[in-house]
Protein backbone atom coordinates (compact mmCIF):
# COMPACT_ATOMS: atom_id res chain seq x y z
CA UNK A 1 0.00 0.00 0.00
CA UNK A 2 0.91 3.63 -0.43
CA UNK A 3 -0.11 5.60 2.66
CA UNK A 4 0.06 9.37 3.15
CA UNK A 5 0.90 10.63 6.62
CA UNK A 6 -1.32 13.69 6.32
CA UNK A 7 -0.37 16.57 8.61
CA UNK A 8 -2.91 19.00 7.08
CA UNK A 9 -0.29 21.70 6.53
CA UNK A 10 0.86 23.40 3.34
CA UNK A 11 3.06 20.55 2.18
CA UNK A 12 1.02 17.43 2.89
CA UNK A 13 -2.18 19.17 1.76
CA UNK A 14 -0.58 19.91 -1.61
CA UNK A 15 0.63 16.32 -1.83
CA UNK A 16 -2.82 14.92 -1.11
CA UNK A 17 -4.53 17.30 -3.54
CA UNK A 18 -2.07 16.32 -6.29
CA UNK A 19 -3.10 12.72 -5.67
CA UNK A 20 -6.78 13.71 -5.78
CA UNK A 21 -6.28 15.67 -9.00
CA UNK A 22 -4.54 12.68 -10.55
CA UNK A 23 -7.44 10.40 -9.60
CA UNK A 24 -10.22 12.80 -10.61
CA UNK A 25 -8.68 13.57 -14.00
CA UNK A 26 -7.70 9.91 -14.54
CA UNK A 27 -4.22 11.01 -15.60
CA UNK A 28 -1.74 8.39 -14.32
CA UNK A 29 1.26 10.30 -15.73
CA UNK A 30 0.37 13.49 -13.84
CA UNK A 31 2.85 14.11 -10.97
CA UNK A 32 4.70 10.81 -11.49
CA UNK A 33 6.24 10.90 -8.01
CA UNK A 34 2.78 11.11 -6.41
CA UNK A 35 0.62 7.97 -6.33
CA UNK A 36 -3.12 7.73 -5.93
CA UNK A 37 -3.04 6.93 -2.24
CA UNK A 38 -4.55 3.80 -0.77
CA UNK A 39 -5.19 5.81 2.39
CA UNK A 40 -4.56 9.26 3.84
CA UNK A 41 -4.27 9.34 7.63
CA UNK A 42 -4.46 12.44 9.84
CA UNK A 43 -3.59 12.28 13.56
CA UNK A 44 -5.61 14.73 15.66
CA UNK A 45 -3.28 15.64 18.54
CA UNK A 46 -5.91 17.54 20.48
CA UNK A 47 -4.88 21.20 20.20
CA UNK A 48 -4.34 22.46 16.67
CA UNK A 49 -4.71 25.99 15.32
CA UNK A 50 -8.24 26.41 13.91
CA UNK A 51 -7.08 26.55 10.30
CA UNK A 52 -5.71 23.00 10.55
CA UNK A 53 -9.14 21.43 10.99
CA UNK A 54 -10.46 23.63 8.16
CA UNK A 55 -7.77 22.16 5.91
CA UNK A 56 -8.59 18.66 7.16
CA UNK A 57 -12.21 19.13 6.14
CA UNK A 58 -11.23 20.53 2.73
CA UNK A 59 -8.95 17.53 2.16
CA UNK A 60 -11.63 15.11 3.31
CA UNK A 61 -14.08 16.47 0.72
CA UNK A 62 -11.45 16.28 -2.03
CA UNK A 63 -10.70 12.67 -1.09
CA UNK A 64 -14.39 11.77 -1.21
CA UNK A 65 -14.57 13.15 -4.73
CA UNK A 66 -11.38 11.33 -5.74
CA UNK A 67 -12.24 8.03 -4.07
CA UNK A 68 -9.25 8.10 -1.72
CA UNK A 69 -9.92 6.66 1.77
CA UNK A 70 -9.42 9.36 4.42
CA UNK A 71 -9.00 8.56 8.11
CA UNK A 72 -8.73 10.72 11.23
CA UNK A 73 -7.12 9.14 14.30
CA UNK A 74 -7.59 10.62 17.76
CA UNK A 75 -4.09 10.64 19.26
CA UNK A 76 -4.54 12.88 22.32
CA UNK A 77 -1.08 14.31 22.91
CA UNK A 78 -2.49 17.52 24.42
CA UNK A 79 -4.93 15.77 26.76
CA UNK A 80 -2.34 13.21 27.90
CA UNK A 81 0.25 15.91 28.56
CA UNK A 82 -2.12 18.11 30.57
CA UNK A 83 -3.27 15.13 32.63
CA UNK A 84 0.11 13.53 33.32
CA UNK A 85 2.82 16.22 33.36
CA UNK A 86 4.21 16.54 36.88
CA UNK A 87 2.51 13.33 38.00
CA UNK A 88 4.17 10.69 35.85
CA UNK A 89 6.55 10.38 32.93
CA UNK A 90 5.21 11.97 29.77
CA UNK A 91 6.28 11.83 26.14
CA UNK A 92 9.35 13.95 25.42
CA UNK A 93 8.37 17.21 23.73
CA UNK A 94 11.33 19.37 22.59
CA UNK A 95 10.85 22.12 25.18
CA UNK A 96 13.52 24.78 25.43
CA UNK A 97 15.47 24.52 28.70
CA UNK A 98 17.32 27.01 30.88
CA UNK A 99 19.54 25.91 33.78
CA UNK A 100 20.38 28.01 36.83
CA UNK A 101 23.88 28.61 35.46
CA UNK A 102 22.40 29.99 32.23
CA UNK A 103 23.05 26.89 30.13
CA UNK A 104 20.52 26.58 27.31
CA UNK A 105 19.45 23.32 25.64
CA UNK A 106 16.44 21.53 24.16
CA UNK A 107 14.76 18.28 25.14
CA UNK A 108 14.59 15.37 22.66
CA UNK A 109 11.58 15.08 20.38
CA UNK A 110 9.62 11.84 20.69
CA UNK A 111 6.08 13.20 20.33
CA UNK A 112 5.97 12.78 16.55
CA UNK A 113 7.09 9.16 16.77
CA UNK A 114 4.75 8.21 19.61
CA UNK A 115 1.64 10.12 18.59
CA UNK A 116 1.87 10.07 14.79
CA UNK A 117 4.23 7.47 13.31
CA UNK A 118 3.38 4.69 15.78
CA UNK A 119 -0.33 5.52 15.70
CA UNK A 120 -0.38 5.28 11.91
CA UNK A 121 1.64 2.05 12.02
CA UNK A 122 -0.80 0.43 14.43
CA UNK A 123 -3.81 1.59 12.42
CA UNK A 124 -2.39 0.18 9.20
CA UNK A 125 -1.44 -3.08 10.86
CA UNK A 126 -4.74 -3.74 12.68
CA UNK A 127 -7.33 -1.92 10.57
CA UNK A 128 -6.03 -2.03 7.00
CA UNK A 129 -3.90 -5.19 6.92
CA UNK A 130 -6.24 -6.93 9.38
CA UNK A 131 -3.63 -8.50 11.63
CA UNK A 132 -4.85 -10.33 14.70
CA UNK A 133 -3.57 -9.64 18.21
CA UNK A 134 -0.22 -11.36 18.72
CA UNK A 135 0.20 -12.21 15.03
CA UNK A 136 3.74 -11.80 13.69
CA UNK A 137 4.42 -9.63 10.67
CA UNK A 138 4.03 -11.66 7.50
CA UNK A 139 7.14 -11.84 5.28
CA UNK A 140 5.25 -10.27 2.38
CA UNK A 141 4.59 -7.16 4.52
CA UNK A 142 8.24 -6.52 5.50
CA UNK A 143 9.24 -3.14 3.98
CA UNK A 144 6.44 -3.70 1.47
CA UNK A 145 4.39 -0.55 2.11
CA UNK A 146 5.22 3.10 1.43
CA UNK A 147 4.64 5.86 3.97
CA UNK A 148 4.67 9.22 2.19
CA UNK A 149 5.67 12.39 4.03
CA UNK A 150 4.99 16.01 3.10
CA UNK A 151 8.52 17.37 3.37
CA UNK A 152 9.57 20.13 0.98
CA UNK A 153 12.81 20.43 -0.96
CA UNK A 154 14.25 22.76 1.69
CA UNK A 155 13.72 19.99 4.28
CA UNK A 156 15.78 17.34 2.51
CA UNK A 157 17.96 17.02 5.62
CA UNK A 158 14.94 15.67 7.52
CA UNK A 159 14.43 12.71 5.18
CA UNK A 160 15.27 9.52 7.04
CA UNK A 161 14.57 5.81 6.75
CA UNK A 162 11.59 4.41 8.63
CA UNK A 163 12.60 2.06 11.49
CA UNK A 164 9.23 0.31 11.27
CA UNK A 165 9.56 -3.09 9.60
CA UNK A 166 6.46 -2.52 7.42
CA UNK A 167 7.31 0.82 5.86
CA UNK A 168 9.64 2.51 3.43
CA UNK A 169 9.51 6.30 3.71
CA UNK A 170 8.92 8.34 0.55
CA UNK A 171 9.24 12.10 0.08
CA UNK A 172 7.62 13.00 -3.26
CA UNK A 173 7.92 16.78 -2.90
CA UNK A 174 11.65 16.47 -2.26
CA UNK A 175 11.96 14.19 -5.29
CA UNK A 176 10.12 16.81 -7.38
CA UNK A 177 12.16 19.71 -5.99
CA UNK A 178 9.00 21.41 -4.67
CA UNK A 179 9.45 24.01 -1.92
CA UNK A 180 6.91 25.33 0.58
CA UNK A 181 6.31 28.32 -1.72
CA UNK A 182 5.65 25.94 -4.63
CA UNK A 183 3.04 23.99 -2.67
CA UNK A 184 1.35 27.19 -1.49
CA UNK A 185 1.10 28.34 -5.11
CA UNK A 186 -0.30 24.98 -6.23
CA UNK A 187 -3.09 24.72 -3.65
CA UNK A 188 -4.08 28.38 -4.01
CA UNK A 189 -4.10 28.51 -7.80
CA UNK A 190 -5.38 24.98 -8.54
CA UNK A 191 -7.82 24.52 -5.66
CA UNK A 192 -8.50 28.02 -4.33
CA UNK A 193 -7.25 27.02 -0.88
CA UNK A 194 -5.04 29.49 1.00
CA UNK A 195 -3.11 26.95 3.05
CA UNK A 196 -1.30 27.47 6.32
CA UNK A 197 1.28 25.36 8.11
CA UNK A 198 0.27 22.67 10.57
CA UNK A 199 1.68 21.90 14.01
CA UNK A 200 0.36 21.55 17.54
CA UNK A 201 -0.59 24.95 18.89
CA UNK A 202 1.86 24.35 21.76
CA UNK A 203 4.75 23.13 19.55
CA UNK A 204 8.03 24.68 20.75
CA UNK A 205 9.21 25.13 17.16
CA UNK A 206 6.77 27.99 16.64
CA UNK A 207 8.25 31.46 16.41
CA UNK A 208 7.04 34.02 18.94
CA UNK A 209 5.03 35.73 16.22
CA UNK A 210 2.72 32.71 16.16
CA UNK A 211 1.69 33.23 19.79
CA UNK A 212 0.97 36.91 19.25
CA UNK A 213 -1.07 36.09 16.12
CA UNK A 214 -3.14 33.48 17.97
CA UNK A 215 -3.65 35.84 20.90
CA UNK A 216 -5.12 38.45 18.57
CA UNK A 217 -7.15 36.09 16.38
CA UNK A 218 -8.13 33.05 18.47
CA UNK A 219 -8.34 33.83 22.21
CA UNK A 220 -9.62 30.34 23.09
CA UNK A 221 -6.61 28.59 21.57
CA UNK A 222 -4.30 31.20 23.09
CA UNK A 223 -5.72 30.49 26.55
CA UNK A 224 -5.02 26.77 26.06
CA UNK A 225 -1.44 27.55 24.98
CA UNK A 226 -0.92 29.68 28.10
CA UNK A 227 -2.32 26.80 30.16
CA UNK A 228 0.37 24.46 28.83
CA UNK A 229 3.05 27.06 29.49
CA UNK A 230 1.83 27.59 33.05
CA UNK A 231 1.97 23.83 33.62
CA UNK A 232 5.63 23.90 32.57
CA UNK A 233 6.18 26.75 35.03
CA UNK A 234 4.33 25.31 37.99
CA UNK A 235 5.04 21.57 37.89
CA UNK A 236 8.22 19.51 37.98
CA UNK A 237 8.63 16.94 35.20
CA UNK A 238 8.97 13.26 36.04
CA UNK A 239 11.73 12.30 36.46
CA UNK A 240 12.73 15.67 37.96
CA UNK A 241 15.26 17.91 36.22
CA UNK A 242 17.01 21.08 37.38
CA UNK A 243 16.46 23.14 34.24
CA UNK A 244 13.31 25.19 33.72
CA UNK A 245 11.18 24.35 30.68
CA UNK A 246 9.77 26.85 28.20
CA UNK A 247 7.51 26.71 25.17
CA UNK A 248 9.00 29.89 23.67
CA UNK A 249 12.44 29.67 22.11
CA UNK A 250 13.15 33.01 23.85
CA UNK A 251 12.88 31.13 27.15
CA UNK A 252 10.21 33.48 28.41
CA UNK A 253 6.69 32.73 29.51
CA UNK A 254 4.20 33.22 26.70
CA UNK A 255 2.44 36.01 28.59
CA UNK A 256 5.78 37.81 29.09
CA UNK A 257 6.64 38.04 25.39
CA UNK A 258 6.99 41.62 24.21
CA UNK A 259 6.07 43.02 20.78
CA UNK A 260 9.81 43.12 20.05
CA UNK A 261 10.11 39.40 20.85
CA UNK A 262 7.34 38.67 18.35
CA UNK A 263 8.91 40.26 15.27
CA UNK A 264 10.34 36.93 14.14
CA UNK A 265 7.78 35.61 11.64
CA UNK A 266 9.18 33.28 8.97
CA UNK A 267 7.96 34.22 5.48
CA UNK A 268 8.41 33.28 1.84
CA UNK A 269 7.82 35.15 -1.41
CA UNK A 270 4.70 34.64 -3.52
CA UNK A 271 3.78 36.95 -6.42
CA UNK A 272 5.82 39.81 -5.01
CA UNK A 273 4.45 39.62 -1.49
CA UNK A 274 5.63 38.09 1.73
CA UNK A 275 3.56 35.17 3.03
CA UNK A 276 3.88 34.04 6.65
CA UNK A 277 4.45 30.30 6.87
CA UNK A 278 2.48 30.08 10.17
CA UNK A 279 5.46 29.02 12.24
* CATH number for position 163: 3.40.50
Where residue 50 falls among pLDDT bands split at 50, 70, 90? confident
Q: With 90 as the cut, is the pLDDT of residue 156 above it? A: no
35 lies in some domain: yes
92 lies in some domain: yes
173 lies in some domain: yes
31 lies in some domain: yes
Q: With 90 as the cut, is the pLDDT of residue 132 above it? A: yes
Predicted TM-score (pTM) of the model is 0.94
148 lies in some domain: yes
226 lies in some domain: no
Domain of 99, in residue numbers = 2-200
Burial of 11 (C-beta count, 10 Å sphere; 0-12/13-18/19+): buried
Count of domains observed in the chain: 1
Residue-wise pLDDT tens digits, 215-233 = 999 999 999 999 999 999 9
271 lies in some domain: no
236 lies in some domain: no
Amino acid sequence: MKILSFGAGMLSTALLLMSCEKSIKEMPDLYPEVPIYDASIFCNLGLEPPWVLEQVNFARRACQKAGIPFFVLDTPLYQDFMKNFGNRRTVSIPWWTLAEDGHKAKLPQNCTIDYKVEAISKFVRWNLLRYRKGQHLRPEDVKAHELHMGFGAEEKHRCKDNPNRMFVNKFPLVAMGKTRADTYKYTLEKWGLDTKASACAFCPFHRNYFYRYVQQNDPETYAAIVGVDELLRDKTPMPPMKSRLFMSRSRKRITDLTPEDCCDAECFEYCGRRVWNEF
